Amino acid sequence: MTQGRPLGLLVRFAWPLLVGSLCQLLYTAADGAVVGQMLGVNAFAAVGASGFLSWLVTDMILGLTQGFGILFGQLFGKKQWPMLRQAITASVAIGLGTGAVMTVLGLVATESVLRLMNTPGLILPFAVRYLQVLFCGILVTMFNRLAFTLLLSLGNSRTPVTGNIISCVLNIVLDILLVGELGLGVQGAAAATVLAQFICLMYCLIKLWAIPELRPLDLRLSPALMGSLFRLGGPLAFRNGVISLGGLFVQSAVNGYGTLFVAGMAAVEKYFGLINLPGDALEGAFANFSAQNYGASRMDRLKDGLRCSVLLALSSWGIIAVGLVVWGRELLSLLVSGSPAELEQLLSVGSEYLMVLVLSIPLMYLLCLYRSGLEGMGNVLAPTLSGFMELGLRIMAVLFLPGVLGRWGIYLANPLGWLGALVLLAVSYHRVYWQKCAK
């Protein structure tokens, strides 16, 4: 990432991430389709209603490991292999402790939190069972993301993609087996996800062990490196938790509109990953581009890297937007079965929300790029504050806009949060960039 044309480097690094995200989307959509088609609207709505709570945990893990990746990328850019091996040991210790605490809290608090979110009683038991199985696999998710982050920080984006493809195929097969053949219901869908992630983790660990610079393992715990990892990963985990907390407020408001409204919104969320594919891939690519060039003191390359990333993101969005405008309703109808009246109401809600997201997703793309650029330069304050900005605007939207705009106020909650966070991050990025250049 420190040598060569930024556009070519970003494309070569981002496209495997794009394929990997597409695979994750496919098995997420397959997960929802199996539940919706085999178990019906109520089970589908239950999985959708539990989505934001599972994302709260997953996003905090993602933030923590992203923070670790900043240090991994900087040490890789400096070729400090002994310190990198110690940092890996420290990250495993932190992940083990954090994951164990999150598992206990998740299992104990699931039902209470779902009740606080006004989850309809008809779907509450399904949601509780689904989440409890997922939370039993939190440590698998933690170390899967840690392995992904380490590989990406070393410039290897192909192995995570291959792992995602394996995981995708296994998840679909296990969904059909556990839900359709063995009749395990929503618990089977959750178990399929955990098992597929475990196989992906094993594959990534084998590939990591084959990297000679990471051997021999250094099992000594360095307090200094643990402190550095906490300072980088802790704020990002907290930020992601705050952002997901805003999602819980939105979901609580959604739940108040009834089961079919919940199902319609959930159907769109299953395709959100498709809409955000370029943003996710380029965020990962630019985060590593920023961290490695910052570690190598190549600040001159960051300006070109950001410009190329924005161009790629917006070009990709144009193609995706056309496809969703034309085929959006048909895609939503693939996920769930029900009576004609139920389907019409569900698809009406889903189509409206989908169009709002299609039009506002460039805000999310730019937000991700500015955020990853700041994190790569070692600045986690502005990304953390952006989480609070996003949370505050989401809460204000669900509290005040429905009284004026009805359900459209719910649709606009996420875009308004993205807009506020984007303004804060863009201003912070350019300020930090010029400060780093001056030094």
Contact 309, 282 (CB under 8 A): yes
67-77 pLDDT tens trace: 888 888 778 87
Query: Does some domain include residue 1?
Result: no
User: How confident is the prediction for the chain on average, in pLDDT?
Assistant: 83
pLDDT score recorded for residue 296: 73
* Window from 19-33, 96-110, 124-138, 276-290 with minimum mean pLDDT: 19-33
Return d(Cα 406, Cα 75) in angstroms, integer. 51
What's at 408, amino acid-wise?
A: W
pLDDT score recorded for residue 265: 80
Contact 185, 43 (CB under 8 A): yes
pLDDT score recorded for residue 283: 83
**Tokens at residue 138, please?**
């939190």
Query: Over 90: is that where the pLDDT of 60 sits?
Result: no
What confidence category does residue 416 fall into, taking pLDDT thresholds of 50, 70 and 90? Answer: very high
Query: Over 90: is that where the pLDDT of 115 sits?
Result: no
Query: Does some domain include residue 223?
Result: yes
Length of the chain: 439
354-378 pLDDT tens trace: 899 889 989 999 999 999 888 888 7
What's at 39, amino acid-wise?
A: L
Query: Does some domain include residue 431?
Result: yes
Query: Does some domain include residue 118?
Result: yes
Query: Over 80: is that where the pLDDT of 321 sits?
Result: yes
Query: Does some domain include residue 433?
Result: yes
What confidence category does residue 17 fall into, taking pLDDT thresholds of 50, 70 and 90? Answer: low
Q: For 9-16, what is the mean pLDDT?
A: 72
What confidence category does residue 117 fall into, taking pLDDT thresholds of 50, 70 and 90? Answer: confident
| 341 to 200, 260, 264: CA distances (angstroms) | 41, 10, 13
Return d(Cα 164, Cα 19) in angstroms, integer. 9
Tell me the chain's radius of gyration from C-alpha atoms: 21
What confidence category does residue 425 fall into, taking pLDDT thresholds of 50, 70 and 90? Answer: very high
Q: What is the dihedral of CA 195, 264, 394, 240, to 10 degrees?
A: 10
Q: Which residue has the tokens 């994190």?
A: 375
pLDDT score recorded for residue 121: 78
128-147 pLDDT tens trace: 888 899 899 999 999 998 99
Structural domain including 12 reads 6-438
Query: Over 80: is that where the pLDDT of 154 sits?
Result: yes
What's at 56, amino acid-wise?
A: L
pLDDT score recorded for residue 90: 93
Q: For 343-355, what is the mean pLDDT?
A: 86
**Tokens at residue 347, please?**
């698809």
Contact 93, 257 (CB under 8 A): no
Number of domains comprising the chain: 1
Q: For 33-53, what is the mean pLDDT?
A: 71
pLDDT score recorded for residue 325: 82
Q: Which residue has the tokens 């990471």?
A: 214
pLDDT score recorded for residue 426: 94
What confidence category does residue 174 fall into, taking pLDDT thresholds of 50, 70 and 90? Answer: confident
Return d(Cα 383, Cα 421) in angstroms, integer. 8
**Tokens at residue 79, please?**
């070729």
Return d(Cα 283, Cα 160) in angstroms, integer. 15
Query: Does some domain include residue 83?
Result: yes
Query: Does some domain include residue 348?
Result: yes
Contact 67, 229 (CB under 8 A): yes
User: DSSP class of residue 412?
Assistant: T
Task: State the burial class of residue 318 (Cβ atoms within 10 Å of its Cβ: 0-12, 13-18, 19+).
Answer: exposed
221-250 pLDDT tens trace: 888 889 989 888 888 788 777 777 766 677
Query: Does some domain include residue 55?
Result: yes
Contact 131, 107 (CB under 8 A): no
Contact 118, 256 (CB under 8 A): yes
Instruction: Identify the residue with better confidence: 435 or 47.
Output: 435
Query: Over 70: is that where the pLDDT of 82 sits?
Result: yes
